[in-house]
Structure 1
Amino acid sequence: MTPQMTLDLFADALWLVVILVTVIILPSLLVGLLISMFQAATQINEQTLSFLPRLIITLAMVMWAGPWIVTRLLDHFRMIFEAIPQLIGTG
Protein backbone atom coordinates (compact mmCIF):
# COMPACT_ATOMS: atom_id res chain seq x y z
CA MET A 1 0.00 0.00 0.00
CA THR A 2 1.58 3.21 -1.15
CA PRO A 3 1.22 6.56 0.57
CA GLN A 4 -0.73 7.80 -2.45
CA MET A 5 -3.29 5.00 -2.03
CA THR A 6 -3.66 5.90 1.63
CA LEU A 7 -4.17 9.56 0.78
CA ASP A 8 -6.73 8.69 -1.90
CA LEU A 9 -8.72 6.51 0.50
CA PHE A 10 -8.60 9.18 3.18
CA ALA A 11 -9.62 11.91 0.72
CA ASP A 12 -12.56 9.84 -0.55
CA ALA A 13 -13.74 9.11 2.99
CA LEU A 14 -13.36 12.73 4.06
CA TRP A 15 -15.25 13.99 0.99
CA LEU A 16 -18.04 11.47 1.69
CA VAL A 17 -18.33 12.74 5.26
CA VAL A 18 -18.49 16.34 4.05
CA ILE A 19 -21.27 15.52 1.58
CA LEU A 20 -23.31 13.54 4.10
CA VAL A 21 -23.01 16.16 6.82
CA THR A 22 -23.89 18.93 4.38
CA VAL A 23 -27.09 17.14 3.38
CA ILE A 24 -28.18 17.00 7.01
CA ILE A 25 -26.91 20.34 8.36
CA LEU A 26 -27.47 22.80 5.47
CA PRO A 27 -31.29 22.86 5.77
CA SER A 28 -30.95 23.39 9.52
CA LEU A 29 -28.63 26.32 8.92
CA LEU A 30 -31.07 27.88 6.46
CA VAL A 31 -33.97 27.52 8.90
CA GLY A 32 -31.83 29.02 11.65
CA LEU A 33 -31.02 31.97 9.39
CA LEU A 34 -34.70 32.56 8.60
CA ILE A 35 -35.65 32.39 12.27
CA SER A 36 -32.81 34.74 13.19
CA MET A 37 -34.02 37.25 10.61
CA PHE A 38 -37.55 36.95 12.03
CA GLN A 39 -36.23 37.47 15.56
CA ALA A 40 -34.22 40.49 14.47
CA ALA A 41 -37.23 42.01 12.72
CA THR A 42 -39.59 41.45 15.65
CA GLN A 43 -36.97 41.97 18.38
CA ILE A 44 -37.91 38.67 20.01
CA ASN A 45 -34.74 37.39 21.68
CA GLU A 46 -35.83 33.92 22.72
CA GLN A 47 -33.15 31.28 22.12
CA THR A 48 -35.54 28.37 22.40
CA LEU A 49 -37.57 29.75 19.49
CA SER A 50 -34.93 28.69 16.99
CA PHE A 51 -34.03 25.36 18.60
CA LEU A 52 -37.18 23.35 17.95
CA PRO A 53 -37.59 24.17 14.22
CA ARG A 54 -33.91 23.39 13.58
CA LEU A 55 -34.22 20.11 15.49
CA ILE A 56 -37.33 19.14 13.53
CA ILE A 57 -35.69 20.00 10.19
CA THR A 58 -32.55 18.04 11.11
CA LEU A 59 -34.57 14.98 12.10
CA ALA A 60 -36.69 15.27 8.95
CA MET A 61 -33.55 15.40 6.81
CA VAL A 62 -32.14 12.33 8.56
CA MET A 63 -35.38 10.46 7.88
CA TRP A 64 -35.63 11.70 4.29
CA ALA A 65 -31.97 11.24 3.31
CA GLY A 66 -31.28 8.27 5.59
CA PRO A 67 -31.57 5.56 2.93
CA TRP A 68 -29.34 7.52 0.55
CA ILE A 69 -26.78 8.11 3.32
CA VAL A 70 -26.68 4.42 4.25
CA THR A 71 -26.35 3.46 0.58
CA ARG A 72 -23.41 5.84 0.09
CA LEU A 73 -21.68 4.51 3.23
CA LEU A 74 -22.23 0.90 2.21
CA ASP A 75 -20.95 1.58 -1.31
CA HIS A 76 -17.81 3.17 0.10
CA PHE A 77 -17.26 0.28 2.52
CA ARG A 78 -17.84 -2.24 -0.27
CA MET A 79 -15.33 -0.43 -2.50
CA ILE A 80 -12.70 -0.53 0.25
CA PHE A 81 -13.48 -4.17 1.11
CA GLU A 82 -13.21 -5.27 -2.52
CA ALA A 83 -9.94 -3.35 -2.95
CA ILE A 84 -8.20 -5.02 0.00
CA PRO A 85 -6.14 -7.39 -2.20
CA GLN A 86 -4.83 -4.48 -4.27
CA LEU A 87 -4.27 -2.36 -1.19
CA ILE A 88 -2.11 -4.92 0.59
CA GLY A 89 -0.27 -5.78 -2.61
CA THR A 90 -1.35 -9.37 -3.22
CA GLY A 91 -3.68 -8.70 -6.12
Structure 2
Amino acid sequence: MSIGDIVTLMRGGIFQILLLSAPILFTALLVGLIVSILQATTSIQEQTLTFVPKILAILFVLAFLGGFMFSSLGDYTVQLFKMIPLMVK
Protein backbone atom coordinates (compact mmCIF):
# COMPACT_ATOMS: atom_id res chain seq x y z
CA MET A 1 0.00 0.00 0.00
CA SER A 2 1.50 3.30 -1.08
CA ILE A 3 1.35 6.77 0.41
CA GLY A 4 -1.13 7.78 -2.31
CA ASP A 5 -3.50 5.00 -1.26
CA ILE A 6 -3.30 6.08 2.36
CA VAL A 7 -3.98 9.70 1.41
CA THR A 8 -6.97 8.60 -0.69
CA LEU A 9 -8.27 6.52 2.19
CA MET A 10 -7.93 9.41 4.65
CA ARG A 11 -9.54 11.84 2.19
CA GLY A 12 -12.50 9.48 1.78
CA GLY A 13 -12.89 9.22 5.56
CA ILE A 14 -12.80 12.97 6.05
CA PHE A 15 -15.29 13.44 3.22
CA GLN A 16 -17.66 10.94 4.87
CA ILE A 17 -17.38 12.76 8.19
CA LEU A 18 -18.19 16.08 6.53
CA LEU A 19 -21.02 14.59 4.47
CA LEU A 20 -22.68 13.01 7.50
CA SER A 21 -22.20 15.86 9.97
CA ALA A 22 -22.85 18.88 7.73
CA PRO A 23 -26.68 18.69 7.64
CA ILE A 24 -26.90 18.39 11.42
CA LEU A 25 -24.39 21.15 12.09
CA PHE A 26 -25.94 23.55 9.58
CA THR A 27 -29.39 22.91 10.99
CA ALA A 28 -28.21 23.62 14.53
CA LEU A 29 -26.42 26.74 13.30
CA LEU A 30 -29.46 28.05 11.43
CA VAL A 31 -31.92 27.36 14.26
CA GLY A 32 -29.54 28.90 16.80
CA LEU A 33 -29.15 31.99 14.66
CA ILE A 34 -32.92 32.40 14.22
CA VAL A 35 -33.58 31.92 17.94
CA SER A 36 -30.83 34.35 18.91
CA ILE A 37 -32.22 36.99 16.53
CA LEU A 38 -35.67 36.49 18.05
CA GLN A 39 -34.18 36.75 21.54
CA ALA A 40 -32.38 39.96 20.63
CA THR A 41 -35.47 41.58 19.14
CA THR A 42 -37.77 40.62 22.02
CA SER A 43 -35.18 41.17 24.79
CA ILE A 44 -35.77 37.66 26.16
CA GLN A 45 -32.46 36.49 27.59
CA GLU A 46 -33.40 32.97 28.66
CA GLN A 47 -30.39 30.69 28.13
CA THR A 48 -32.36 27.47 27.87
CA LEU A 49 -34.65 28.78 25.14
CA THR A 50 -32.24 27.78 22.38
CA PHE A 51 -31.95 24.13 23.35
CA VAL A 52 -35.47 22.89 22.67
CA PRO A 53 -35.76 24.24 19.09
CA LYS A 54 -32.25 23.00 18.28
CA ILE A 55 -32.94 19.52 19.61
CA LEU A 56 -36.25 19.30 17.75
CA ALA A 57 -34.67 20.51 14.50
CA ILE A 58 -31.77 18.07 14.81
CA LEU A 59 -34.15 15.18 15.51
CA PHE A 60 -36.20 16.17 12.45
CA VAL A 61 -33.07 16.23 10.26
CA LEU A 62 -31.98 12.86 11.63
CA ALA A 63 -35.42 11.40 10.94
CA PHE A 64 -35.47 12.88 7.44
CA LEU A 65 -31.88 12.10 6.41
CA GLY A 66 -31.15 9.12 8.65
CA GLY A 67 -31.67 6.58 5.88
CA PHE A 68 -29.28 8.40 3.57
CA MET A 69 -26.70 8.74 6.34
CA PHE A 70 -26.94 5.07 7.27
CA SER A 71 -26.69 3.84 3.68
CA SER A 72 -23.77 6.19 2.94
CA LEU A 73 -21.88 5.00 6.01
CA GLY A 74 -22.70 1.38 5.16
CA ASP A 75 -21.42 1.76 1.59
CA TYR A 76 -18.22 3.35 2.84
CA THR A 77 -17.71 0.55 5.38
CA VAL A 78 -18.25 -2.13 2.71
CA GLN A 79 -15.75 -0.33 0.49
CA LEU A 80 -13.21 -0.34 3.34
CA PHE A 81 -13.72 -4.06 3.98
CA LYS A 82 -13.22 -4.80 0.27
CA MET A 83 -9.91 -2.95 0.42
CA ILE A 84 -8.51 -5.13 3.25
CA PRO A 85 -7.11 -7.85 0.91
CA LEU A 86 -5.38 -5.17 -1.12
CA MET A 87 -3.79 -3.72 2.01
CA VAL A 88 -2.22 -7.06 2.97
CA LYS A 89 -0.21 -7.38 -0.22
Q: TM-score, normalised by structure 1?
A: 0.90
Q: Which structure dedicates a bigger proportion of its chain to helix?
A: 2
Is the 1:24–1:61 Cα contact (8 Å) retained in structure 2?
yes
1:31 equivalent in structure 2: 31
Q: Which residue of 2 aligns with 1:64?
A: 64
In the TM superposition, residue 63 of structure 1 has moved relative to its aligned partner by 1.4
Structure 2: tracts of 5 or more residues without a match: none
RMSD: 1.1
Deviations 1:8-37 (A, max 9, x none): 101111111011101112112101100100
Instruction: Tell me which amino acid in the other structure corresponds to 2:3.
Output: P
1:1-91 to 2 correspondence within 5 Å?
1-89=1-89
Question: How many residue pairs align between the two structures?
Answer: 89
Report the residue type matching 1:40 in the other structure.
A
Q: Name the TM-score, length of structure 2 as normaliser.
A: 0.92
Which aligned segments of 4 or more residues in structure 1 are displaced greater than 4 angstroms?
A: none
- Residue by residue over 1:48-90, the C-alpha shift from the partner in whole angstroms, topping out at 9 and shown as x without a partner, is 111100011111111111110010001111111122222333x
Identity among equivalent positions (%) equals 30
For 2:84 and 2:40, how far apart are their aligned partners in 1?
Answer: 54
Task: Name structure 1 gaps, 5 residues minimum.
Answer: none
> Secondary structure of the residue that 2:45 maps to in structure 1?
coil
